[in-house]
Amino acid sequence: MEDNFTRQKTATLNITIYAEFDSKHTAGLLNKEPFAEEKNNRRLNFKAKDIGLVSMPKQSDMAIVIAPEENKEANILAEKLRVNSNPRLRIIDGYDNVFEKVSSIIEELEKAFEMGLTITDFIQIYKRNISQEKIGSQLSIFKNGIDKITLERPATPGDGIFMLTKEMAEDCASYFDTKKESYKLKKFVPASGAATRMFKFLHDFISDYDPKKETINGYINRKKDNSLQVFLLGLEKFPFYKEIAAVSEKHVVYPTADDENVREDARNYSFIKTMMSEEFFDYANKPKGILPFHCYGNLTATPVYEHLRESVAYASSQGQTHVHFTISENHLNGFLDSINEVRSLVEEESGIKISFNFTYQHKETDTLAVDMDNKPFRDEKGNLLFRPGGHGALIENLNRLDADIVFVKNIDNVRHTKMETIALYKKALGGMLVDLQGKIFNYLRHIENRDLSEDELDEIVEFAANKLSLDISPDFDKFTLENKFLYVKESLDRPIRVCGMVKNEGEPGGGPFWVKGKRGRVSLQIVESSQIDLDNKIQSHIFSQSTHFNPVDLVCGLKDYKGNKFDLTQYIDPNTGFIVYKNRMGKDVKSYELPGLWNGAMAGWITVFAEVPLKTFNPVKTVNDLLKAAHQKPV
């Protein structure tokens, strides 16, 4: 009797399946256990209709329309469901076995229920192609936090960093030139970031400056804004000066006072407003890749132009070069215009054909945001909030490239001069990779055939330790011969990257370190400060002893010794992501950024560090960096 009062009422959720044919049979199967059994006071009830027999769909808790994309009746039906605000999924694959496809969807739905999510949540997640396991993993990370990594010691010259002299660089570059025609090369340029931070101090100036109440010099003194002072002193040296000045001069509001200092303030104020205004140039909201960085006579050059020049200088084979940009979808036209303006010029000068393509950050790499109680955060419409997973999400873009060797370099790391030096050291890193990869592939073929003696296997182990900086198990000598073969194969059969490192001169960012893993083994990794417990005095001291800095100068080998592409997602360390704090709708939220592209996303790669000259690293983090010698025409 008591059970009748205390037991909660079972909720029945009606799910309707719309298929091309045989839908009722599928519903009958699904209405049998375990799909339709009661769980947590919830029962699923399945109905089904053949698409061709439905004129007006009835409301249900969730509708699944499963038919090929070209099925017009299915598309019309899905639209009717949308108009009626019926939660729905439009499925265009798996229609040849509806029961199997719908079963997999329901299994995922059950997992969502177990995490306290709703059908609407599930549909939102499913449409992003994000698995429930990933959602569960992210919720667990928010709840339990992310362990900081443990630094063993900094990587230094002779201890993790190979010293690449100019003579060695020339030899490696020459070797690369002799081998490159056998490889499909690509240049991979992360370029989706907007230039917001590049112009932040100018945005602050526009927001806080009142020309009726103070002079610009007064503002600089009040705010101690040295950046604005540097910007104005170098104004005419910027590559965009003439173009913006021609427009801003038409909109200057001169004060009544006939004082040249006051009039100069008015001109400068108008210049900055014109540059930042959405009505005119809107620089802070454009991607860095299409902004003016350099001047070559009458040509105003963007980073896109510089990367095309670089690609023909070191990433070409068989008379062509391939450049891949990862961009934001809403900036596609801007990138297309920037490339088409200069592509033929670079091709004509170099004699090399340029092909290019773009990808966007995939929706399935977005991550769930939560509130400060680690509950999924919802917007004003009740929808889950997803945020981009950070640059670590680009491992998916890299994974989908069809290439043997890929050069990776950030969009803003370009310079006006020294192309020969840049090309030399890029090809040198490529030569190092080709040489090491050739040796590794040869060893792996012998290991596969088991045509090595134990002494020869020991020689390979010595190569792995000395040339690849692999930490070999201290128990290796105790292994059986067969287990030695298996151990060495597992250690060598993985993607490889050769990373250029520059001397540390105080730039913010990551660097090369020996990192201790959970099993006590150490490996070479590129580490950011946010990954380290800087409150730990020992870890903080090790971090401060770093001699080199990561300029994001990588050459990557993406295929194995049989010519097959590695699945790069298998070499990610999921425990090296970041929890970041943001504000949304006036509320604090937490979001998870995936392991960084060259940090945890490549943690399981074979990693080789080599020192390259500082002159090959010339990032533009703020607009004032364009005043540095690397970005100015030589006098």
Which amino acid, one-letter code, is at 415? R
Q: Residue 1 has what pLDDT?
A: 40
Quickly tell me which residue has 């067969």 as its tokens.
482
Residue 13 parent element (H or E): strand 11-19
**Nearest-10 crossing angle of helices 481-492, 419-449:** 160
Looking at the DSSP bridge assignments, the partners of residue 503 are 548
Reply yes or no on whether the pLDDT at 504 is more than 50.
Answer: yes
Q: What are phi and psi of 551, to 5 degrees?
A: -90, 5
Q: Is the pLDDT of residue 302 over 50?
A: yes
Identify the band that residue 508 occupies on the pLDDT scale cut at 50, 70 and 90.
low
Say yes or no to pLDDT of 566 above 60.
Answer: yes
Share above pLDDT 70 across residues of the chain, in percent, rounded to a whole number:
98
Q: Write down the pTM of the prediction.
A: 0.89
- pLDDT of 549 > 90? The answer is yes
Mean pLDDT of 506-528: 88
Is the pLDDT at 463 greater than 90? The verdict is yes
Overall average pLDDT of the 432-443 stretch: 98
Query: Residue 143 pLDDT > 60, yes or no?
Result: yes
Average pLDDT over residues 257-271: 86
If residue 338 lies in a helix (H) or strand (E), which one and from where to where?
helix 332-350
For residue 558, is pLDDT > 70?
yes
Nearest to 494 by CA among 414, 423, 393, 565: 565
94, two tokens: 């798996």
Half-sphere exposure of 335 (CA within 13 A, CB side): 28
Q: Report the distance separating Cα 156 and Cα 512, nearest Å.
A: 8
CA 430 to chain centre: 22
DSSP run (H or E) holding 186? strand 185-190
pLDDT higher than threshold 90 for residue 523 = yes
Query: Cβ contacts of residue 448 below 8 Å, gap of 6+?
Result: 489
C-alpha to C-alpha distance for 539 and 291, rounded to whole angstroms: 40
Amino acid at 286: K
Closest to 487 (Cα-Cα) out of 447, 517, 522: 447
Interior/surface letters 33-53, b for 16+ CB within 10 angstroms, e for the rest: eebbeeeeeeebbbbbbebee
Q: Positive or negative, the Cα torsion across 95, 97, 99, 101? A: negative
Joined together, the tokens standing for residue 436 give: 């090491």
Phi first, then psi: give them for residue 175, nearest 5 degrees: -60, -40
Q: Which residues contact 43 (CB under 8 A, 6 or more apart)?
A: 10, 11, 12, 13, 36, 37
Residue 240 pLDDT: 97
End-to-end CA gap in the chain = 95
> Of how many residues is the chain composed?
635
Write the single-letter amino acid at 25. H
The reported pLDDT for the residue numbered 6 is 46
What distances in angstroms separate CA 565 from CA 190, 229, 429, 430, one per listed residue? 21, 51, 21, 18
User: Which domains does the chain show, CATH number per domain?
Assistant: 11-128 (3.40.50), 196-285 (no CATH)
Considering only residues 194 and 592, tell me which one the structure prediction assigns the higher pLDDT: 592
Mean pLDDT of 102-113: 93
What are the φ and ψ backbone dihedral angles of 220, each rounded to 5 degrees?
-60, -45
Residue type, position 4, single letter: N
Q: Is 150 helix (H, G, I), strand (E, B) or coil?
A: strand
**What are the pLDDT digits (tens) for 614-624?**
999 999 999 99
Nearby residues of 436 by Cβ (< 8 Å), 6 or more positions away? 467, 468, 496, 498, 608
* Angle, alpha carbons 575-197-272 (nearest 5°): 175
**Could you give the CA distance from residue 221 to residue 78 in angstroms, rounded to a whole number?**
62
The mean pLDDT value for 393-413 works out to 96
pLDDT digits (tens, 9 = 90+) for 571-590: 999 888 889 888 887 889 99
Q: State yes or no: pLDDT of 388 exceeds 90.
A: no
pLDDT of 344 reads 97
Model confidence pLDDT, tens digit, residues 2-41: 444 444 577 899 999 999 987 888 888 888 877 778 887 8
Closest of 91, 109, 100, 107 to residue 51, by C-alpha: 91
Q: How many C-beta atoms surround the C-beta of residue 347 within 10 A?
A: 16
- Within 10 angstroms of residue 212's Cβ, the number of other Cβ atoms is 5
Tens of pLDDT along 185-205?
999 999 987 899 999 999 999
Task: Work out the percent of the chain whose per-residue pLDDT is above 90.
Answer: 81
Structure confidence at residue 257 as a pLDDT band (50, 70, 90): low
Tell me the two tokens of residue 337.
């215009």
pLDDT at 8: 56
